[in-house]
Amino acid sequence: MIKKVALTLFALIALTILAIFGIASMRPDTFRIERKIVMKAAPATIYLIANDFNHWTKWSPWEALDPDMKKNIEGPGVGVGAVYTWSGNDKVGEGKMSILESTPDSRVGMQLQFIKPFQATNNVEIQIAPVEGGSEVTWAMSGTNNMMAKVMSLFMNMDQTVGKDFETGLANLKVLAESQPPPPPPGNPAESMGAGGKIVTD
């Protein structure tokens, strides 16, 4: 009797697992998560912040999750070739960001590599477009969904989870960018964030 019950339970568990993987296999092979915000700041101002990993900790939505997180900047720290690595608690894990593309005042393209608690490589981009009264900034992440990611998507809405972090980060970036002096007109050698790449902080 006990053996029969055990076999029945085993069969039910096996069928459940097969069903989960069967449903997961029909999930999209790729994903894209993005959020937008309008800032009362010039594209040049926002670009200088986003293109420099030395300013990342000032607006990253994940900084507060681990005050003891180990961080390191490799390479120039600014523009193509800049690398930012981190390692911390279970909430932040371990990973690396590398700037691969940098178009002045309009776009910063990065590769985001997660090492712990799981391994994944995604593309991240920050797009900046001038609009009336300031700039529209889009923060997006895209990549491929392996089977494990597809299974996880059945139980967790990644767009909502990561999207909420993006919204927090963009709000932080907005505060930082709007606190900077406006860049000088083209050809004006005056020292400012727009001309000299300086960030005003507390």
- Looking up residue 23, the CATH number of its domain turns out to be 3.30.530.20
Residue 60 domain-assigned (yes or no): yes
Is the residue at 188 inside a domain? no
Residue linked to tokens 């477009």: 129
Q: Across-strand partners of 30?
A: 144
- DSSP H or E stretch at residue 45: helix 43-50
Query: How confident is the model over 85-107, as a mean pLDDT?
Result: 95
Are the CB atoms for 41 and 199 separated by under 8 Å?
no
Q: Any residues with CB less than 8 A from the CB of 151 and at least 6 apart, and which?
A: 20, 21, 24
Among 69, 128, 67, 121, which Cα is nearest to 98's? 121
Residue 195, domain member (yes or no): no
The more confident residue out of 117 and 40 is: 40
Of all residues in the chain, the percent with pLDDT exceeding 70 is 72
Query: CA-CA distance, 53 to 127, in Å (whole number)?
Result: 16
Q: Among 21-25, 30-34, 36-40, which is the least confidently predicted range?
A: 21-25
> Quick check: is 198 in a domain?
no
The answer to whether residue 194 scores a pLDDT higher than 80 is: no
110 assigned to some structural domain: yes
Buried b (16+ CB within 10 A) or exposed e, 14-35: eeeeeeeeeebeeeeeebebeb
Decide if 17 is inside a domain: yes
Q: Using 50, 70 and 90 to split pLDDT, how confident is the model at 119?
A: confident
Q: What pLDDT is attached to residue 191? A: 42
Report the b/e string of 118-152 with b at 16+ CB within 10 A: eeeebbbbbbbeeeeebbbbbbebebebeeebbbe
Q: Is 137 part of any domain?
A: yes
- Is the residue at 193 inside a domain? no
Q: How many domains is the chain partitioned into structurally? A: 1
Residue 27: domain span:
2-182
